């Protein structure tokens, strides 16, 4: 019997496809109040204002406000949001809850309320 290049082995089987409920309407509010209003528009051949050296790459719209961003500003936003997500995930793993959200020194607050 000749070698068949397209022969599937047991370890090459594809995983079953996910069955999604397609009849359910999409609800953007489920992801937060500004999720549906976040968008980005490119602005080609723009020069930066002030002392910045990087080119203006476009405008980010959040809600009814917009900001023109340079390449380095967009990188800073990405880094800051990644750090925020990481801090949140670590806090969840450590058992931090909303009951003490916004309190700077939680341990001092916990001791004083006992």
Alpha carbon distance 89, 82 (integer Å): 11
Beta-bridged to residue 65, according to DSSP, are 62
The pTM of this model reads 0.59
User: What proportion of the chain, given as a percentage, has pLDDT over 90?
Assistant: 26
Q: What digits encode the pLDDT tens for the residues 58-100?
A: 999 999 999 999 888 999 999 999 999 998 888 888 887 666 5
CA distances from 67 to 71, 73, 75, 78, 103 (A): 13, 10, 14, 15, 31
Tabulate helix, strand, coil % of the chain (nearest 5). Answer: 40, 20, 45
Report the percentage of the chain scoring pLDDT > 70: 68
């Amino acid at each position: 019997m000749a070698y068949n290049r397209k022969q599937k082995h047991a370890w090459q089987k594809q995983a079953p496809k996910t069955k999604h409920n397609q009849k359910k309407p999409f609800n953007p509010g489920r992801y937060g109040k500004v999720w549906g209003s976040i968008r980005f528009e490119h602005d080609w051949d723009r020069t930066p204002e002030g002392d910045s050296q990087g080119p203006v790459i476009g405008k980010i719209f959040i809600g009814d406000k917009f900001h023109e961003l340079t390449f380095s500003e967009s990188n800073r936003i990405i880094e800051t949001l990644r750090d925020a997500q990481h801090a949140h995930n670590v806090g969840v793993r450590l058992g931090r809850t909303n009951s003490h959200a916004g309190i700077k020194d939680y341990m001092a607050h916990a001791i004083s309320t006992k």
